[in-house]
Chains A and B, each alone.
Chain A
Amino acid sequence: MQPELAIRLRGVVKRYGPITAVDGLDLEVPMGTCVGLLGPNGAGKSTTMRLLTAQSIADDGELEVLGYALPGESKQARARCGVVPQLDNLDTTLTVAQNLLVFTHLYRVPRDERRDAIERALELAKLGDRRDDRVDKLSGGMRRRLLIARALVHRPQLVLLDEPTVGLDPQVRQELWALIDALRSEGTTLLMSTHYIEEAERLADSVLIMSHGTAVAAGPPAELVLEHAGKEALEVYGGPARLAEVEAEAVSAGLRTRRTGTSVSVLGIDGRNGSLFEGERRPANLEDVFVLLTGEEIA
């Protein structure tokens, strides 16, 4: 019997001494969807990812992965999950194919299916012609593709991606997005943590925004934008003094604002014709929601 939820967390708490990294988190990932776990650094995304593979043990709450209760049945769950870590931990002195071979063993791919599994992964990572090259000869983008393909050798039902494109240049990032999108269209269930808003906006069917270890909003990106930031925003530029002025005026007019660093975004101006300030109108986006909900300054 297939559970309907690939991941179900209820009231999960994880403390490290005086620090509460995850603080009563609820999270649901329905089968066949891609959920983005979005939050600033330190929001508890990575701890959440570690909890899902039982590399961290929760202090409180319920965790279920593919219908298995953690941590007790985590090994069964892990056998059916693929994990793409944030930090590259490929075996660098081995070849591309050897790295994949090792993982077919670790993930218990039956002997007569290993060869096919490796070929499939090579094709997915577009590394067929580099199969016999050592990993330390590959570019950063290739290594990332291999890291993703390595997590898929056993055709996992659920793939956990921890910041899959962090620190990569835009070309490589696009390449990886295409790869992740292909998985998604095949019906693989994905949970992806990221602090790149664009990544979540493009790839996730639904996002959960985390702040200080707990969920502050969850839903499809478009709905979250509409709910929290409205349809349109006005981007007003100027010096610091001018920006402070704009903020004060907007607030007194009952509008919400957020800083972008170089401008103030006045949110929810939908339908107002005669505009309050000189500025550029633009559609509201997930970044507006993110900053509204997680705060302008990182704690």
Chain B
Amino acid sequence: MVTQESRTARIGRLERPALTGVLVREVVNFSSYWRSTTFSATVEPTIYLLAFGFGFGSLVSTVGGYDYVEFVGTGTVATAVLFSSAFAAMFGTFIKYKFQRTYDAILAAPVDTEELVTAEAAWIAFRAGVYGCVPMLVAIVFGLAPAWGMLLVPFFGAIAGFGWACFGILASAMASSIENFNYIISAGLTPLFLVAGTFFPLTQLPDWAQNLAQLNPLYHLVQLVRHAAFGFDAWADVGHVAVLAGFGVLMWRLAIWRLQTRLVD
């Protein structure tokens, strides 16, 4: 029974039992749909990798000093992270909030919005870290040389995935209908995903665009993954991690704030 602990015991914020409760719900649910999610999260970036790697790669053999397949193989890690975090969070949150009314049940339990957002984003971040490795593994099959630094890629993917998951939760907390996501995808995610140094080096772009790309978290993830595969550049990479972490914290707080106003009136 849950009853008789001391009445004065304050229940605080970000409690482990609440986070665990939300995580368990996600993990148990995942067991019912992991096949389709895993399929799309791994096949899609792999197609990009193969299409660009071999299609475009037959025109240019090296880019920025790398074999083009190696260049794209590391770049599409970021794509896989983005797809499996931002999209999952956007649609998942909206469906749970609007159609399944799951959040009504969760918030009636001893769970706060802060815990709800944190646990759901953490779970998506974990998945994004794992799925993010797929294009890299495929690239290894096609000749990318394995390196010890690659062991850090899931962690980089998870840090960025957390930020993108919170971005997705924020977007769905602000969307009045699921069609609103079209704007976010077309005007937000697609440009970010193309102008991240994934398929071509940013040095090909005009200066203003290169400067803007510095604000794109995806660019920093691409840099980190390339350095993990081809050799770290200590200070620059600390900077990239810091940008991703800052992006994560900012999105995390914004997502909690917006979802709270949406769920509690």
B151 lies within 8 A of chain A by Cβ: no
**B105-145 contact mask (Cβ, 8 Å, vs A): 1 or 0:** 11111111000000000000000000000000000000000
- Taking a contact as CB atoms under 8 Å apart, the answer to whether A106 and B21 are in contact is yes
B188 to chain A, nearest CB (A): 30
Stretch at the interface among A53-61, A193-201, A206-214, A245-253: A53-61
- Taking a contact as CB atoms under 8 Å apart, the answer to whether A155 and B3 are in contact is yes
Query: Roughly how many angstroms separate A91 CA and B3 CA in the complex, as a whole number?
Result: 27
By a CB distance below 8 angstroms, the chain B residues around A92 are 100
- Taking a contact as CB atoms under 8 Å apart, the answer to whether B1 and A54 are in contact is no
Determine chain B's interface SS by DSSP, over half rule: helix
A76 lies within 8 A of chain B by Cβ: yes
- Taking a contact as CB atoms under 8 Å apart, the answer to whether B28 and A108 are in contact is no
- Taking a contact as CB atoms under 8 Å apart, the answer to whether B3 and A157 are in contact is yes
Number of A-B residue pairs, CB cutoff 8 Å, is 98
**A72-110 contact mask (Cβ, 8 Å, vs B): 1 or 0:** 000110111101010101011110001001110111110
- Taking a contact as CB atoms under 8 Å apart, the answer to whether B32 and A79 are in contact is no
Chain B contacts with A in 239-265, Cβ cutoff 8 A: 263-265
A257 to chain B, nearest CB (A): 40
Choose from A1, A54, A80, A155 the contact partner of B264 (Cβ within 8 Å). Answer: A54
- Taking a contact as CB atoms under 8 Å apart, the answer to whether B108 and A57 are in contact is no
**B81-120 contact mask (Cβ, 8 Å, vs A): 1 or 0:** 0000000000000000000111011111111100000000
- Taking a contact as CB atoms under 8 Å apart, the answer to whether A76 and B11 are in contact is yes
- Taking a contact as CB atoms under 8 Å apart, the answer to whether A53 and B107 are in contact is yes
B20: nearest residue on chain A (CB-CB)?
A105
**A14-54 contact mask (Cβ, 8 Å, vs B): 1 or 0:** 00100000000000000000000000000000000010011
**A176-213 contact mask (Cβ, 8 Å, vs B): 1 or 0:** 00000000000000000000000000000000000000
Given contacts A78-B109, A106-B109, A155-B2, are A89 and B101 in contact (CB under 8 A)? yes
By a CB distance below 8 angstroms, the chain B residues around A108 are 2, 17, 21, 110
By a CB distance below 8 angstroms, the chain A residues around B2 are 79-80, 107-109, 154-155
Determine chain A's interface SS by DSSP, over half rule: loop
A125 to chain B, nearest CB (A): 16
A128 lies within 8 A of chain B by Cβ: no
- Taking a contact as CB atoms under 8 Å apart, the answer to whether A55 and B32 are in contact is no
Given contacts A56-B264, A102-B28, A106-B111, are A89 and B1 in contact (CB under 8 A)? no
- Taking a contact as CB atoms under 8 Å apart, the answer to whether B265 and A57 are in contact is yes
- Taking a contact as CB atoms under 8 Å apart, the answer to whether B102 and A16 are in contact is no
B99 to chain A, nearest CB (A): 10
Chain B contacts with A in 1-18, Cβ cutoff 8 A: 1-3, 7, 11, 17-18
B174 lies within 8 A of chain A by Cβ: no
Query: Roughly how many angstroms separate A53 CA and B110 CA in the complex, as a whole number?
Result: 9
B22 lies within 8 A of chain A by Cβ: yes
B29 lies within 8 A of chain A by Cβ: yes
A58 to chain B, nearest CB (A): 11
Query: Roughly how many angstroms separate A157 CA and B20 CA in the complex, as a whole number?
Result: 23
- Taking a contact as CB atoms under 8 Å apart, the answer to whether B25 and A105 are in contact is yes
B33 lies within 8 A of chain A by Cβ: yes
A67 lies within 8 A of chain B by Cβ: yes
By a CB distance below 8 angstroms, the chain B residues around A89 are 100-102, 104-105
A44 to chain B, nearest CB (A): 14
A268 to chain B, nearest CB (A): 42
Interchain Cβ contacts under 8 Å between A and B, 18 examples: A53-B107, A55-B104, A75-B11, A75-B112, A81-B108, A89-B101, A89-B102, A89-B104, A91-B28, A91-B29, A92-B100, A94-B29, A105-B24, A106-B106, A106-B109, A107-B2, A107-B109, A154-B1
3 smallest beta-carbon distances between A and B, as pairs: A106-B21, A79-B110, A89-B101
Q: A80-B3, A108-B110 are in contact. List 15 more A-B contacts (CB 8 A).
A: A1-B7, A53-B107, A53-B108, A55-B265, A56-B264, A56-B265, A79-B2, A89-B101, A91-B25, A91-B100, A94-B28, A101-B24, A106-B110, A107-B21, A155-B2
Interface residues of B (CB under 8 A from A): 1-3, 7, 11, 17-18, 20-22, 24-25, 28-29, 32-33, 100-102, 104-112, 263-265
Interface residues of A (CB under 8 A from B): 1, 16, 50, 53-57, 67, 75-76, 78-81, 83, 85, 87, 89, 91-94, 98, 101-103, 105-109, 113, 154-155, 157
